[in-house]
Amino acid sequence: MAICKQLERAFLPLTASGMAESMTLMSNDPRLENILSAIRDVPDFPKPGIIFKDIAPVLGDPERFSETLSLMEERIAPHQPTKIAGIDARGFIFGAALADRLDIGFIPVRKKGKLPWETIGKAYTLEYGEAEIEIHRDAAGEGDRVVLVDDLLATGGTAGAACELIESTGAKVPLISFFIELSFLDGRSKLPAGILVDALIKY
């Protein structure tokens, strides 16, 4: 089960030739080339045949991390969000920093049982079993425009459930913003229709 949950996050499968899937930058901005050069391939993690895309070097480099946040901020700001929501756990890294830059509130979308106050939750199906995410009952409401942020769009199940959970409060989700999208996993098909989806880098 632990491996299955990890596989739902950040990985690239090898093709028959042993080469990783191709990559597409979602802009010609030179900042993206600088960011991309720091993403590290870790072969055979978390199991043989997988190339893990490690973003830790981007997070650890103040220039590259700042450039990443700037690019995401530029694409989020036109949607006039009143709050940013980040998915547990790496979505917290990007989401909280972006909320600070935009001078708006941050909503942590957490695994079930991790929030201390009254919550509302949404269950969703994984490849093997079911999971549930929660937010505080008063995290958002009518009139809020909440942009959902995460580091990676893979299979899309968690992000899709998070959108439905946020909109159940009466808030609107105009945009879901990802750092990386693994397009060959077709995660967009799991996301609610009518919500814009953006990713800086697409594999």
Residue 129: pLDDT band with limits 50, 70, 90:
confident
Does pLDDT of 3 surpass 70?
Answer: no
Rounded distance between C-alpha atoms, residue 55 and residue 40, angstroms: 7
Instruction: Read off the pLDDT of each residue in 147-161 and give the average, rounded to a whole number.
Output: 96
Q: Tell me what pLDDT residue 27 has.
A: 66
Number of domains composing the chain: 1
Q: Backbone phi, then psi, for 36, in 5-degree steps?
A: -60, -35
Pairwise pLDDT comparison (19 vs 36), residue with the higher score: 36
Q: Tell me what pLDDT residue 23 has.
A: 60
Yes or no: say if 180 and 151 are a contact pair by the CB < 8 Å rule. yes
CATH number of the domain bearing residue 87: 3.40.50.2020
pTM for this one? 0.87
List, by residue number, the catalytic residues: 90, 127
Ramachandran region, residue 66 (left: φ > 0; alpha: ψ -120 to 50; beta: rest)? alpha
Q: Tell me what pLDDT residue 128 has.
A: 73
Q: Tell me what pLDDT residue 151 has.
A: 97
Q: Which domain holds residue 93?
A: 2-202
Rounded distance between C-alpha atoms, residue 137 and residue 152, angstroms: 26
Per-residue pLDDT of 168-185, as tens digits, reads: 999 999 999 999 999 999
